[in-house]
Structure 1
Amino acid sequence: MIKQGYQRGLLCGIILLLIAMASCGEAPRPEPSHLKTEDDYIKPLPGPSDTIAATTAAKGEVLIGYSDCATCHKEDQRSVGPAFQDIAKRYPVQDVYIKYLAEKIRKGGSRSWGYAVMTPHETLTTAEAALMAAYILSLRQRP
């Protein structure tokens, strides 16, 4: 009786494995509807933008260069996290958003850009994180 149950379980497992292997050759599935357009992905916030001084942006760029940001972010294309340029398109250059992004950098978070989770960077000071956020938002000013 046990042997017969074992054989049925093994047979079911083999059938499921064959079905799974056969489905691997299917055409790729379309992206989820919430990622279909750039506007849906970026969700730009309204508001005027200030300018960021070149020296401030340069300091932030150096801090990002020495951090682990490049592990998950690229300047102009999505990776594990959003591209820096996409972040700059979403948020107007305003102090409130620089502070908000600085806190996100320090505390980490998720669900702002999908399901990826950003690890906290609590060793950064608030001022350092603000410089990094300012650099990211300065990308909005580029032609």
Structure 2
Amino acid sequence: MKVVSYFIVCALWIIMSCQAKMERQVTKLNSPDLKEEFYVIPGEDEPLDPESIKKGKVLVSYNDCYHCHREESRAKGPAFTDISKRYPIQKAYVDMLARKIISGGTGTWGYPVMSPHPKISEEDAKLMVYYILSLDQK
């Protein structure tokens, strides 16, 4: 009987420890003064066409991007300015981010899931990425 009691006490202790850890993590994530740090990919920026940036801004505005993103602050997803700080303006990253807009994804910025947007053409998605990446140049 002592052994069973010991295992029950240990199991309860483990459950309570895990729950307390989860509560601390949720509090940390919901903290308004949390300064999220993220890695920045080094690289030189390629020049952007101002006309592409304007078209991209219109496309971002007319799609559902602002349901999950804001330009300056994190919403469900990362702020556009944070995205623009992370990625250099290079063809490889523009292509990758355009595919992510179209097919969706998860894990890059933590827990939120990027919804797929299969109706957006690859060309339009690239224009949207040009606009987003241009925000770091302001």
Q: Determine if the alignment matches structure 1 residue 100 to structure 2 residue 96.
A: yes
Give 1:50 shift. Answer: 1.3
Distance in 1 between the 2:133 and 2:122 partners? 16
Q: Determine if the alignment matches structure 1 residue 57 to structure 2 residue 47.
A: no
Give 1:54 shift. Answer: 1.2
Q: Deviations over 1:84-120 (max 9, x none)?
A: 0000000001011000000000000010000000110
Distance in 1 between the 2:51 and 2:70 partners? 21
Q: Which runs of 5+ in 1 are unaligned?
A: 1-26
Question: Which structure has the larger Rg?
Answer: 1
Give 1:140 shift. Answer: 1.6
Partner of 1:14: none
Checking the alignment, whether the CA contact within 8 Å between 1:72 and 1:80 is kept in structure 2 is yes
SS of aligned partner of 1:116: strand
TM-score between the two structures when normalised by the length of structure 1: 0.72
Please give the residue correspondences for 1:40-55 in structure 2 after superposition, counting only pairs within 5 Å.
Answer: 41-55=37-51
Give 1:28 shift. Answer: 9.8
Distance in 2 between the 1:37 and 1:89 partners? 18
Distance in 2 between the 1:28 and 1:95 partners? 37
2:28 maps to a residue whose letter is: E
SS of aligned partner of 1:117: strand
Distance in 2 between the 1:72 and 1:130 partners? 19
Partner of 1:31: 28
Runs of 4+ more than 6 Å apart: none
Q: Which runs of 5+ in 2 are unaligned?
A: 1-23
Partner of 1:127: 123
After TM superposition, the structure 1 stretch with the greater mean CA deviation from structure 2, 109-118 or 40-49, is 40-49
